[in-house]
Chains A and B, each alone.
Chain A
Amino acid sequence: MAFGGAEGVEYETATGRRAARGAPWSMRRREAVAGYLFIAPDAIGLAIFAALPMLLALGLGFYEVDGFGGYRFAGLANYRRMFLDPLFLQSLRVTLFYVLMLVPSLYVVGLGLALLAQRRSRISGLVRSLFFLPQMVSLVVVALVWQVLLVDKIGPVNRLMSLVGLGGLSWLGDPDLALASVVVVSLWFLMGFYMLIFLGGLQDIPREYYEAAWLDGANPIRAFFHITLPLLRTTSFFVLLVATVTAVAGGQAFDLIYVMTKGGPANSTELTIYYIYQQAFQYNEFGYAAAMATTLVAILLAFTFLLFRITRGGRFE
């Protein structure tokens, strides 16, 4: 529809074509106009629904918003409040622990599964699909299914664990265990994705390197540490960055927490993104929530910057 205009300026006749060829400048202009028109819908959409909210979050953080939609400029009050809010600080701690538990295990499990599934055999395709299958299911379903599995006393996981004498644990009800349980469920869901990323990285390593190592008498373990790991640097960088960013600010963790624990017990699974959501949509603290979101983004940007500096742009040199 938007291109009726662009269509209108086309030169459909032979004279028009000749004219256009004779005047390359106008042809270039025609191309530029078409380019802008083609890109306009997406550019405007992204500006309104991605860039603008980011700027709004920045601005909204300086306002106090009451329950009736009234806005009052509050300066740095929201930011001051944040650092005195024990629940916010607790949520940062929970987020940190979540990242520290989840990201390394994703790295190890993702790479391990990729190494297992990489070998060419009749069943390797099936094995990959099986590992990847949890990714297809929504986080809400994942959370519900695991809630049943982790039910106290009579749930299947507890029945299984009772065989080794650990039957009485309350996986989602014990503040010392709940976050670890959420990490296990996140790991189960995400590992197939990182397996695929590692498979892509492994594919790019020339086979000759392994053959040379084999001829030199290196065993597979040495080959792994001297060839595979060093050559997976770029992939590793990507995995660490993406896994961390999604653990801190991705929707996946939110979905799991919302359905499985609601941040409890005793705020032990209260991730910052979940706390922000609660403040905004349960307590109507829009300004405060926006200030916390802005802070979270600042922390993430600092982390990304640091990771780039340490690894010299992901090259680990």
Chain B
Amino acid sequence: MNETRAPGLGRPATSGTFAAVPAILSLCSLILGLMTIIPLLWMLSTAFKQQSEVFGPGILPPHPTLDNFIYVFTQLDFLRFLFNTFFVSSSVTVLALLLHSMAGYALARLRFPGREAIFLTMFATFLVSLPVIIVPLFVLVKALGLLNSYAGLIIPAIFNAFGIFLLRQFYLGVPREIEEAAIMDGAGYWRIYWSVILPLSRPILSALAILFFLANWNAFLWPLTIVSDRNLWVVQVAIASFQGQYSGSWNYIMAASTVVALPTLILFVVFQRQIMESIKTSGLK
């Protein structure tokens, strides 16, 4: 009944044979989607199992227990690792957003000689991946005296071309008149940036904040390399090393994994639309 009014809205409905196809496809995709998350459900369930039940039949724990979580928090100093991870991830996020939005603003809105060359050079560092530069970066950070320190965990993680690029693209789209009014009022560039540009960029900053926080919460290679002092461990390093110590005690390891994964999963449930949109539109991560 729709095809005459709105031909744009999909194919005209045909005879009964094909009418069921969309419903079947929907059902299939839902089943596939649920199958995708079985490993995560399995992690959750194992976290509540007793050691003897880990490989028992059935996905639900037969006698659910909180002992594994209690063990992780009381015996493994997990709160400390959680604090370290939270502190490092949020510091990197805040500093990165500040510096990248400043750079993005300058690259998009201020005219100065060499601007395009600087932008291209910055963008080229996008091609540098951590595993490839891990050795010289380690040598460098060690020479700077940042081994085994929060600064060593935080500072090298701040700089990435991706954030600068996205913010520059965003600022290119901001209409000139908005700044011009402020310039007429005699505001300096810092004031324009701070009280006009920053408030404007709240949506993109919050999307990037989520991505940066997630990336740093989940980061493993750099913290593994730069920190050997157990007091500075982040959660990812901690659970990777529990695996060696408690091999076979999968109930403890899965409980710790659940604790590590939970904040990111909660962030996802709350912000899924924003997270997926920003990845889709940027085409990058």
A interface with B by C-beta (< 8 Å): 3, 6-7, 9-13, 16-17, 28, 31-36, 38-39, 41-43, 45-46, 48-54, 56-57, 60, 113, 116-117, 119, 121, 123-124, 126-134, 136-142, 144-149, 151, 154-156, 159, 188, 193, 196-197, 199-200, 207-208, 210-211, 214, 238, 242, 245-246, 249-251, 254-255, 258-259, 273, 276-277, 280-281, 286, 289-290, 293, 296-297
Contact = CB atoms under 8 A, between A and B. Distances in A.
Contacts of A113: 32
B188 interface: yes
Which of the listed residues A38, A54, A296 has the most CB atoms from chain B within 10 Å of its own CB? A38
Contacts of B268: 129, 132-133, 136
A42 B99 contact: yes
A155 B187 CA distance: 66
A222 to B, nearest CB: 14
A305 to B, nearest CB: 12
Interface string B96-135: 0001101101110011110100100110010111111111
Contact of B102 (A38, A117, A200): A38
A264 to B, nearest CB: 14
B71 interface: no
A251 B220 contact: yes
Contact of A133 (B30, B37, B100, B136): B37
Contacts of B267: 136
Given A245-B129, A259-B240, A7 B33 contact: no
Interface stretch (B60-68, B76-84, B157-165, B199-207): B157-165
Contacts of B159: 42, 45-46, 49-50
A146 B42 CA distance: 10
Interface of B: 7-8, 11-12, 22, 25-26, 28-30, 32-34, 36-37, 39-40, 42-43, 46, 54-55, 57, 99-100, 102-103, 105-107, 110-113, 115, 118, 121-122, 125, 127-140, 155-156, 158-161, 164, 186-191, 193, 214, 217-221, 224-225, 236, 239-240, 243, 250, 253-254, 257, 260-261, 264-265, 267-268, 272, 276, 279-281, 283-285
B256 to A, nearest CB: 9
A277 B131 CA distance: 8
Contacts of A53: 128, 133, 136-137, 140
A254 B267 CA distance: 25
B106 to A, nearest CB: 4
Which of the listed residues A3, A146, A258, A276 has the most CB atoms from chain B within 10 Å of its own CB? A3
B186 A11 contact: yes
Main secondary structure of the interface of B (DSSP, over half): helix
Main secondary structure of the interface of A (DSSP, over half): helix
A38 B33 contact: no
Contacts, number: 294
A290 B99 contact: no
Nearest to A55: B136
B221 A145 contact: no
Given A31-B110, A133-B37, A276 B135 contact: yes
Contact of A130 (B34, B39, B43, B214): B34
A31 B26 CA distance: 56
B118 A43 contact: yes
Contacts of B243: 144, 147, 259
A28 B111 contact: yes
Which of the listed residues A46, A130, A200 has the most CB atoms from chain B within 10 Å of its own CB? A46
Contacts of B54: 148
A193 B131 contact: no
B125 A277 contact: no
Contacts of B26: 119, 121, 123-124, 127
